[in-house]
Amino acid sequence: MMDAVQKRLLEEVADLHKVPEGAYNIRANGQMAGRNTTANIDIVSKEDVSGMDIHIKPGTKNESVHIPVVLSQSGIKETVYNDFYIGEDADVIIVAGCGIDNCGGEDAEHDGIHRFYLGKNARAKYVEKHYGSGEGEGKRILNPGTEVYMEENSVMEMEMVQIKGVDSTERKTIAKLSAGAKLIVHERLMTHGEQSALSIYEVELNGVGASADIVSRSVARDTSYQKFDSRIIGNVPCSGHTECDAIIMDKAKILAVPQLEANDVDAALIHEAAIGKIAGEQIIKLMTLGLTEEEAEEQIINGFLK
């Protein structure tokens, strides 16, 4: 049974108020707290390392897999390997996420390594939320590693959100796309206090007509630090776009490093990066609508990260 803190974390990272429908695996403080498989989706624990293999049968449609992780004990440090095999023509939603509540003095760390193998014409939407809470001095650390291998004409849409409470994160995502495959990434990030967040993408477009669109929106407050390092490599006729749009506040620091590498004359690659503070006129406009300066700031940030 999960306690109240774990349930709250589950709500934050997976919008789950109760046990989800469909396939799921809930991991709490390093242990399996619940699992369900379906006729089309099988979840098998790995034997050599912590983690599991998730097999989604070819042609599976409109099913979902939830694999939330919650940590509510100080001092836990774990690395988990999850591999997703998404069969040809399948169309599924995968909801992952990690919530850490650290009330103790020791660090709590979860490093999730997710590998996705998408078969031909498969489609997946991957939603990942990270959340930290707790008053303890121990740090809340999340280092997700994501690898995406996409066969012909597969589509992967990734939504990664980390809005609150994670002290240190280093996220690395790599993707290799075959012909006609399409990768869409929306990342939303907010750091505050002394937090630091590194987000690294390396996307290889290896098949004709492959495309990638990687968009990050972030807000850095207080003395936090963010680095966004996104690299798209076009090896064939393909198209790629990467964008980092950041609001900087207080004494925060942001480094944006978009990189493009074209190894084919028909690789069309674009990058955009913008870092700036909240425009004074935006605050004034919302103040003329009756908000205080602080309320105006919150509205602008909430909208930006929506």
Partner 1 sequence: MLELKNISFEVAGEDVQKEIVRDISLTIPAHKFVVITGPNGSGKSTLAKLIAGIEKPTSGNIYLDGEEITEKDITQRARLGISFAFQQPVRFKGLEVVDLLRIASGRQLSAGDACEYLSEVGLCARDYINREVNASLSGGELKRIEIATVLARESKLSVFDEPEAGIDLWSFQNLIQVFEHMQKRNRNGSIVIISHQERILNIADEIVVVVDGRIADRGPKDKILPGLLGTPSARELCLRQTRKGDGR
Q: Which of 158, 163, 122 is nearest to 40 (CA)?
A: 122
Closest to partner 1 by CB, 184 vs 291, is 291
Q: Does 305 engage in binding with partner 1 (CB under 8 A)?
A: yes
Q: Which is nearer to partner 1, 18 or 306 (CB)?
A: 306
| Sign, CA torsion 50/124/155/303 | negative
Q: Which of 23-31, 116-124, 144-152, 293-301 is the region at the interface with partner 1 (rule: CB under 8 A)?
A: 293-301
Amino acid at 24: Y
Pairing of strands 41-45, 77-86: unpaired
- Please report whether residue 215 would count as binding partner 1 according to CB under 8 A: no
Q: Toward partner 1, which CB reaches closer, 2 or 305?
A: 305
Going from the C-alpha of 257 to that of each of 100, 145, 199, 218, 266, the distances in angstroms are 29, 19, 10, 14, 23
- Asked if 245 is part of the footprint of partner 1 (rule: CB under 8 A), the reply reads yes
Chain centroid to CA 195:
17
Cβ closer to partner 1: 263 or 302?
302
Min dist. Cβ of residue 216 to partner 1 (A): 13
CB of 285 to partner 1, least distance (A): 4
Does 264 participate in binding partner 1 (rule CB under 8 A)? no
- How many degrees, rounded to 5, is the angle at CA 258 between CA 253 and CA 264? 175
Query: In this chain, which of 92, 284, 297, 298 binds partner 1, going by CB under 8 A?
Result: 284
**Residue 250 makes contact with partner 1 by CB under 8 A:** no
- Three-state DSSP class for 26? strand
Q: Which of 205, 293, 297, 298 binds partner 1 (CB under 8 A)?
A: 293
Q: Strands 51-56 and 41-45, how do they pair?
A: antiparallel
Bridge partners, 146 (sequence order): 114, 173
Stretch that binds partner 1, among 29-37, 57-65, 227-235, 285-293 (CB under 8 A): 285-293
For partner 1 (CB under 8 A), the number of binding residues is 22
Exactly one of 8, 35, 192, 217 binds partner 1 (CB under 8 A); that residue is 217
Would you count residue 291 as binding partner 1 (CB under 8 A)? yes
Q: How far apart are CA 94 and CA 157, in angstroms?
A: 10
Q: Are 65 and 52 in contact (CB under 8 A)?
A: no
CA distance 129 to 126: 10
Quote the least distance from Cβ 283 to partner 1, whole Å: 9
| Interacting residue ranges for partner 1, rule: CB under 8 A | 217, 245, 279, 281-282, 284-293, 299-300, 302-306
